[in-house]
Amino acid sequence: MAGWIGVDLDGVLAKYDGAMGNAIGEPIKPMLAKVQDWVAAGREVRIFTARVSDASQLPAIRKWLITHGLGELAITNVKDFAMTELYDDKAMRVKRNTGHICGGCYRMKHRGE
């Protein structure tokens, strides 16, 4: 399958305490294993993180990836037409071309909507 998978860093691949300037948290093992499986299967995975908008964060991101066996992954905060999937703790699923927010979302359940 062509295209790339975007995986958010903070709160998805690494534990996040709510402060962007802090050190990157410990890996979230089930997601780390998923990413390793995708890479082993030949899928392109990119780390999709707002941290990279601050260039001074890039060395810490790269070091974290290397430490956890993902050192070769691209790091970005830009979507393009080749992205096929995005794993993000803040995303809300919207039905394409309708504006309809899909049911069953954690955030929707959490807010009681």
Q: Residues 76-100: pLDDT tens digits?
A: 999 999 999 999 998 888 888 888 8
Would the pLDDT of 109 be above 50? Answer: no
Q: pTM of the entire structure? A: 0.84
pLDDT of residue 105: 58
pLDDT of residue 113: 38
Instruction: Give the full edge-to-edge strand order of the sheet including 83-87.
Output: 74-76, 44-48, 4-8, 83-87
pLDDT of residue 2: 79
pLDDT of residue 103: 74
Alpha-helix runs per DSSP H in 1-113: 29-40, 58-67, 106-111
pLDDT of residue 19: 72
Report phi then psi at 45, rounded to 5: -120, 135
Going along the chain from its start, the domains and CATH numbers come out as 4-111 (3.40.50.1000)
The one-letter amino acid code at 89 reads D
| 3-class SS of residue 10 | strand
